[in-house]
Amino acid sequence: MIVPCRIEIYKKICINSIFTAYETTPYVLHRLVQSVRIDRRLSSNVATANIDIFYAGFNPELILYQYGGWGDDIPIIDNFNRVKIYIDGKIQFYGVIYNYSIDDENAVVHVTCQDMFYHLNRLVDCRMPYLEYKDIYVFDMIKDLATKAGMTTIQTLCERGENYVVSDLKIKYDTQVSDVLSDATATSNTRIRCLKNGDLAIEDMYHTYEVSDVPNNINYEWDYSYVKKINSSDARRGADMLYNRLLVRFDGKNYNVYDAPVLFNYMCAENRFKEVETALGDTQEKRYRMANRTFRNDTRDMTTLTTDAVKGNPDLDLGHALRINLNNRVGHYMVTGISTAYSAEGYFDTIDIEGLLPTDFAYAVFGTGNYDDDADSDVTERDSIVKANTEGKGIRISRDKSNKMGKFNALGTESSITISVTFDNSNAGLSILDPSGVIMGLEGNPNTNGSSLTKAHGTTTVTGLTTCSSMVFSTYPGLTQSVTIFKPIKGTWLIRGVGVPTEVVGATIICSIDWVMLDEDADVATYS
C-alpha cells in the first residue's frame, strides 16, 4: 500500500501594503507531487525540503507560479508562502518556500523550502545600537530573542539544562540571532531546533543513556536491530577538526583552559589547541559547560555513521535513541540526521547516527596556562575558583598511608567539580575520599572501605553512588589523572594520592573549586 503524502501551501496576504499574514485555507497537492526530499540534522540548524511538482494538467484557473513581476495575484508557488508536508497523515515539515525554478522540458516546478528556523538567521537589528538584557533567566532570553526574530511558539523540553541568570548582555545590531542563541545553549548545556510542526524547542543536548541500557534492552525509542550495516560509502572517521586542548575566553582576564584526556590519549599524545570566545561565559561553570560540549561535539562529528536506506518512519525524530545491530554488534545510537525520500518508488529514511555516551560523561578537565591579552599584566585568579598549587611537590606518596594531598568543601549546589593531578612518576595514583568516608580511586589504590576502578588507563564512569550522581575518572600519558564529580553532596572531600612504599612523588593539583593543601600526616577530622 502506498503511504499517502499531502502538501499544503498557504499564500501570503498583504495587509497595509505589507505581507504580514497568510490565508487560512491552504492549496492542497496530492497527485501532482512527483517527489519529496526532507533533510534534517542536528549539525545544521535549518531543515530543508525539496519538492518536485508536475504542472502539466494543473487547473488553469489557478496561478501556480509566475515568471516575473509582482502582480496583484500571489501565485501558489511563491517565495515565503508557507508549506506543510504530511506523510501518512503526520506533519513532517513546516516552513516557507525559499527558492523555486521551472523545468519546462519535464513540466516540473522544483521547490526548495526552509523550516521556520530561517527566522533566526537574521540580524538582531532592533533599530538601535544594542539590544540589552539584564537579570533575566537564559531560557527567557532565548524565548524573547526568538520571538523578536519571528518565532511564534517556543517550548522548553529540557530536564538537565542550566537555566542561569544573564546579569548583563549587550548584543550589537549586526549580530546574527542564531549566533547569540548558540552561545546561550552552549553555556546552559542545551540545544535549540525547530520541531516538525514549526515550534522552536529548547532541548537537552544529549539523550539520557547509561552503558547498562544495552544489555538491559531499555531506554531507546526505536528498535532498528534489523539494520545490519552502515552505508560504507558514507561512513567516516575524520580527525581534521579534532582538538584536545581548548581555551574558552570571556574577556582578556576571564578565561579557562581545558584538556580532554580521552582525546589526548586517542590522538597519541599529540597536543592540538584552539580558542573559542563566549559573550555569556562570565563564570567558570559556564565556560566548563561550553568546553565539555565542544569536546563532545567534535568527537561526535568525527564518528558519524550513516545507515542504508530503511523503511520510512513518520514518528522518527532527531535526538531519538535507536537500538541497532551494526556488524552483528548491538548498540544504542542517537539520531543526528534524517534524510527522507518520498516518491512513486517508495518512502525511505537514511539515518545519521552517533554512538551514545553516558549522560554525565565529561571530556573536559581543567588545564593551565597564561593567556592574558596583556602579556605584561600580573596573572590573576579566575573567578576565585581555579588554583594551581605547585607546593604539592615533595608529597610522600606511599602504599601504607592514605596520603591526604588536599581538601575542598562542596556546597551541595555545584553541578560538577573537577580535580586534575599531575604526578612526577607513574607509580602514583589519584583517589577521592567522600564526606561519608568512602574511598574511590584508580586500580591499585587501597579499597579497604571503598572501591577501586577496574581499569587504570582510559576513562571510567562510576554510578550508583550515594554522595554524588556519578564520578568520571580519566588517565592519559603525561602522568595526569583527573576525576569529575557530578552533583556532589555538601561536605568535605579529600584529594588523596597513593604510590609505592618509601618513594617520594611530587604532584601539581588543579581544582575547579577552592581547595586547601594538607599535611599528609594530619588527622582528617582536623579539616572537616
Are residues 258 and 129 part of one domain? no
Any domain includes 373: no
- Which of 204, 221, 244 lies at the terminal end of a domain, its last residue? 204
* Confidence (pLDDT) at 14: 77
Are residues 145 and 101 part of one domain? no
b/e per residue 176-187 (b: at least 16 CB within 10 A) = ebbebbbbbbbb
Are residues 503 and 394 part of one domain? yes
pLDDT of 239 strictly over 80: no
* Confidence (pLDDT) at 447: 43
Any domain includes 430: yes
Give the residue with greater pLDDT, 30 vs 303.
Answer: 30
* CATH number, domain containing residue 158: 3.55.50.10
Give the pLDDT band of residue 527 (cuts 50, 70, 90).
very low
The amino acid present at 161, given as its one-letter code, is G
- Which of 309, 336, 355 lies at the terminal end of a domain, its last residue? 355
Any domain includes 372: no
User: Mean pLDDT lowest for which of 9-13, 85-89, 235-239, 494-498?
Assistant: 235-239
Are residues 180 and 245 part of one domain? no
pLDDT of 123 strictly over 70: yes
Any domain includes 363: no
* Confidence (pLDDT) at 377: 41
* CATH number, domain containing residue 418: 2.60.120.380
* Confidence (pLDDT) at 146: 96
Any domain includes 360: no
Are residues 222 and 337 part of one domain? yes
Mean pLDDT of 345-364: 86
Q: Is 342 exposed, middle or buried (0-12, 13-18, 19+ CB in 10 A)?
A: buried
* Confidence (pLDDT) at 155: 96
Mean pLDDT of 201-222: 92
Can you list the alpha helix ranges (DSSP code H) found in 257-405?
261-266, 284-302
Are residues 75 and 161 part of one domain? no
CB 272 within 8 A of CB 333: no
* Confidence (pLDDT) at 385: 29
pLDDT single digits (tens) 158-194: 988 999 999 999 999 999 999 999 999 999 999 999 9
* Confidence (pLDDT) at 393: 39
pLDDT of 450 strictly over 70: no
Give the residue with greater pLDDT, 310 vs 62.
Answer: 310
Q: In 3D, which of 406, 466, 481 has the Cα closest to residue 451?
A: 466
* Confidence (pLDDT) at 453: 60
Are residues 235 and 184 part of one domain? no
Give the pLDDT band of residue 326 (cuts 50, 70, 90).
confident
Are residues 334 and 405 part of one domain? no
* Confidence (pLDDT) at 73: 77
Are residues 218 and 182 part of one domain? no
CA 418/CA 486 separation, integer angstroms = 9
Mean pLDDT of 380-384: 31
- Which of 53, 86, 115 lies at the terminal end of a domain, its last residue? 115
Are residues 101 and 137 part of one domain? no
pLDDT of 39 strictly over 60: yes
* Most confident segment among 89-98, 122-131, 255-264: 89-98
Are residues 135 and 110 part of one domain? no
Any domain includes 374: no
Give the three-class secondary structure for 430.
strand
Range of the domain at 166: 122-204
Give the pLDDT band of residue 507 (cuts 50, 70, 90).
confident
Mean pLDDT of 4-20: 84
CA 4/CA 84 separation, integer angstroms = 14
Any domain includes 365: no
Name the DSSP class of 525: G
Give the residue with greater pLDDT, 134 vs 298.
Answer: 134
- With a pLDDT cut of 70, the percent of the chain lying above it is 80
Give the pLDDT band of residue 69 (cuts 50, 70, 90).
low
Mean pLDDT of 220-230: 80
* Confidence (pLDDT) at 5: 94
Q: Cα-flanking dihedrals φ and ψ of residue 417, to 5°?
A: -135, 135
* Confidence (pLDDT) at 296: 83
What's the number of domains the chain is made of?
A: 4
pLDDT single digits (tens) 461-506: 788 888 998 888 876 545 678 888 988 999 999 888 766 545 566 6
CB 279 within 8 A of CB 200: no
pLDDT of 235 strictly over 70: no
Any domain includes 110: yes
Are residues 126 and 110 part of one domain? no
